[in-house]
């Protein structure tokens, strides 16, 4: 039995035979040609064929997983029209009299290596895109059909990496889990794996040559590990866990469409925490009452530059429209501490969790903040959006935010861009915010309690430090009292208050939260129905 750790792309459990997928890329041979025009024509035909294949993949993915999942194939079609790329290939054909397949391979490799060599996860993903379109062209030029992944029994697919196209082409029924050596949790392939709800890990350092197709593997997408040739006892334990998961899943389906209401008639709202527009799908599948926390900083991570106003506007608008009038709370960027993006050029700090992060960056660098605010104010026209500000510690910050929001609104008005100022709330995730929650409540439209940070700052314990696991207690009495204090102050001012930290999904505390008067619990999509079930068991049945 061998255990190997990896990064979690998608949670879930799987057990079954391994299918080792070795690199099946077609290598283009170096051949000289005589007829340049004929070769250029072949290239053109291969390109048209590739575009048609990508259109088919786009349609298949859009039908099975929705437009946003399919967009990668649209992007590949655009890459195939990139004149810089095509001109370089044509140059090699004309100048070096190279066969079109070899010219594509040489140019594709050069660009991909250049991108991959920058040590940036986002650019590495773009390198994978270039490799995929080049491979498609090479296959078409060689007259080879795209590989059909018609492997035997449903399997745990282990590979160096996958392209999004390869993943969509596979028969979903045959994939128990995906394990890759390379790849990133931000890649298109990772996004697709999440959308397809396939347990998936990346960064798993297995040696493909030592693996055998057919050997047994367990993929634990909760713990982030692969277990090769597991013992019988381990297999039994995992199978039992999977059975429990299945039974629970079946039972929970009955709670779809039901209200989040206690037996004695107290109404709550159970919402979803999401990181991207793609996550809206799982929020809807789990019948979320709304989006309680859209962690917008994920739009900024895993890339080389700031997302533009337009990119952000599209993401927020899509989320608002997809939720069809249900509330969508978008938190402004909470970058810094454990969430770093190079292009912010943040200085190294001794205590990053206590440092320059979240609203502090936005207030000091309003030019960054305003781009996001413009996108949010514009997207508000399209649904029931609210803005949530993170890491608030003072009343002064609220006034500063207000000034910037008003300035942004004035500019949009002047430019005659349609906008709306939505409801605005704040995260209560610092002890300071709790202690002045009476004053803060009169200045904002709602509170959302971030128990993750509130726990780390109240207990003075780094939430990331594994060594503190025995000490770190999110159910600490101090936290529960702070939640009560925040709820009381919110209600005195007549505003709503929710919990969006992980504690909100702790079903052993649901009854206590109800008793405290919490109005909303925002939890990971997979926890929505569990929390709803718990809420509906609480209190005396008034009909009895």
Give the three-state DSSP class for 269: strand
Minimum CB distance to Mg ion smaller for 159 or for 293: 293
Contact status: 429 vs Mg ion (CB under 5 A): yes
**Contact between 507 and 531 (Cβ < 8 Å):** yes
Binding-site ranges for ligand PEP (CB under 6 A): 293, 295, 334, 429, 450-453, 500-501
Minimum CB distance to ligand PEP smaller for 316 or for 389: 389
Contact status: 297 vs Mg ion (CB under 5 A): no
Give the three-state DSSP class for 341: coil
Paired tokens of 340: 């770093």
Q: Report d(CA 100, CA 48) in Å as an integer.
A: 14
Count other C-beta atoms under 10 Å from residue 282's C-beta: 18
Q: Residue 125 touches which of ligand PEP, Mg ion, none (CB < 5 to 8 A by kind)?
A: none
Residues in 10-69 at the binding interface with Mg ion, rule: CB under 5 A: none
Minimum CB distance to ligand PEP smaller for 245 or for 338: 338
Contact status: 519 vs Mg ion (CB under 5 A): no
For the sheet with 2-5, list strands across it: 2-5, 225-228, 216-220, 13-21, 155-159, 175-180, 200-202, 7-10
Set 76, 188, 271, 362: catalytic member: 188
476 is known as an active-site residue: no
Size of the site for Mg ion (CB under 5 A): 3
Set 76, 271, 362, 500: catalytic member: 500
Contact status: 101 vs Mg ion (CB under 5 A): no
Dihedral sign (CA 425, 428, 432, 434): positive
Beta bridge partners of 449: 428, 499
Burial class from Cβ neighbours inside 10 Å (0-12, 13-18, 19+) for residue 294 reads: buried
Q: Report d(CA 208, CA 220) in Å as an integer.
A: 19
- Closest separation in Å from C-beta 505 to ligand PEP: 11
Minimum CB distance to ligand PEP smaller for 12 or for 450: 450
Question: Among the candidate windows 244-252, 367-375, 407-415, 442-450, which touches Mg ion by CB under 5 A?
Answer: 442-450
Minimum CB distance to Mg ion smaller for 85 or for 389: 389
User: On the CB side of 151, how many CA atoms lie within 13 Å of its CA?
Assistant: 22
271 is known as an active-site residue: no
Of the candidate residues 183, 450, 498, 525, the single one contacting Mg ion (CB under 5 A): 450
- Closest separation in Å from C-beta 473 to Mg ion: 17
Q: Where are the beta strands (DSSP E) in 269-369?
A: 269-274, 291-295, 328-331
- Closest separation in Å from C-beta 266 to ligand PEP: 24
Q: Indicate which residues carry an active-site annotation.
A: 188, 500
Binding site for Mg ion (CB under 5 A): 429, 450, 453
């Amino acid at each position: 039995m061998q255990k190997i750790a990896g990064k979690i792309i998608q949670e879930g459990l799987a057990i079954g035979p391994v299918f080792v997928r070795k690199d099946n890329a077609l290598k283009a041979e170096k051949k000289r040609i005589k007829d340049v025009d004929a070769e250029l024509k072949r290239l053109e035909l291969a390109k048209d064929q590739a575009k048609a294949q990508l259109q088919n993949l786009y349609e298949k993915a859009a039908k099975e997983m929705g437009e946003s999942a399919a967009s990668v194939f649209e992007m590949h079609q655009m890459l195939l029209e990139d004149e810089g790329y095509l001109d370089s290939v044509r140059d090699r054909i004309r100048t070096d009299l190279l066969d079109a397949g070899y010219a594509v391979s040489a140019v594709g490799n050069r660009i991909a290596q250049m991108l991959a060599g920058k040590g940036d996860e986002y650019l590495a993903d773009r390198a994978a895109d270039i490799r995929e379109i080049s491979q498609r062209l090479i296959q078409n030029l060689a007259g080879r059909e795209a590989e059909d992944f018609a492997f035997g029994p449903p399997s745990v697919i282990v590979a160096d990496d996958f392209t999004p196209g390869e993943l969509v082409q596979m028969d979903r029924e045959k994939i128990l889990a995906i394990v890759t050596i390379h790849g990133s949790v931000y890649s298109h392939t990772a996004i697709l794996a999440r959308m397809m709800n396939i347990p998936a890990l990346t960064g798993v350092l297995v040696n493909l040559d030592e693996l055998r197709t057919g050997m047994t593997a367990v993929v634990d997408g909760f713990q982030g590990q692969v277990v090769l040739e597991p013992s019988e006892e381990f297999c039994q334990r995992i199978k039992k866990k999977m059975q429990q998961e299945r039974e629970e899943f079946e039972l929970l389906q009955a709670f779809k469409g039901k209200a989040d209401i206690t037996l004695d008639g107290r109404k709550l709202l159970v919402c979803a925490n999401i990181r991207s527009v793609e996550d809206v799908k799982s929020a809807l599948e789990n019948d979320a009452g709304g989006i309680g926390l859209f962690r917008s900083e994920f739009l900024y991570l895993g890339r080389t530059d700031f997302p533009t106003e337009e990119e952000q506007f599209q993401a927020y608008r899509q989320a608002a429209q997809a939720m069809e009038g249900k509330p969508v709370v978008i938190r402004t960027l909470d970058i810094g501490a454990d969430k770093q993006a190079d292009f912010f050029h943040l200085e190294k700090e001794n205590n990053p969790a206590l440092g320059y992060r979240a609203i502090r960056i936005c207030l000091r660098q309003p030019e960054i903040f305003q781009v996001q605010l413009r996108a949010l104010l514009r997207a508000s026209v399209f649904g029931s959006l609210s803005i949530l500000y993170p890491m608030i510690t003072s009343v002064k910050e609220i006034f500063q935010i207000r000034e910037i929001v008003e300035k942004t609104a004035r500019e949009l008005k002047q430019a005659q861009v349609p906008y709306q100022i939505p409801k605005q709330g704040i995260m209560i995730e610092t002890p300071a915010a709790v202690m002045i929650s009476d004053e803060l409540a009169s200045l904002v439209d709602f509170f959302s309690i971030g128990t993750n940070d509130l726990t780390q700052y109240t207990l003075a314990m780094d939430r990331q430090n594994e060594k503190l696991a025995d000490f770190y207690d999110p159910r600490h009495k101090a936290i529960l009292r702070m939640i009560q204090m925040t709820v009381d102050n919110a209600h005195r001012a007549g505003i709503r208050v929710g919990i969006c930290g992980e504690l909100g999904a702790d079903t052993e505390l649901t009854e206590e939260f109800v008793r405290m008067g919490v109005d909303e619990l925002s939890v990971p999509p997979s926890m929505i129905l569990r929390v709803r079930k718990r809420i509906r068991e609480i209190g005396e049945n008034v009909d009895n």
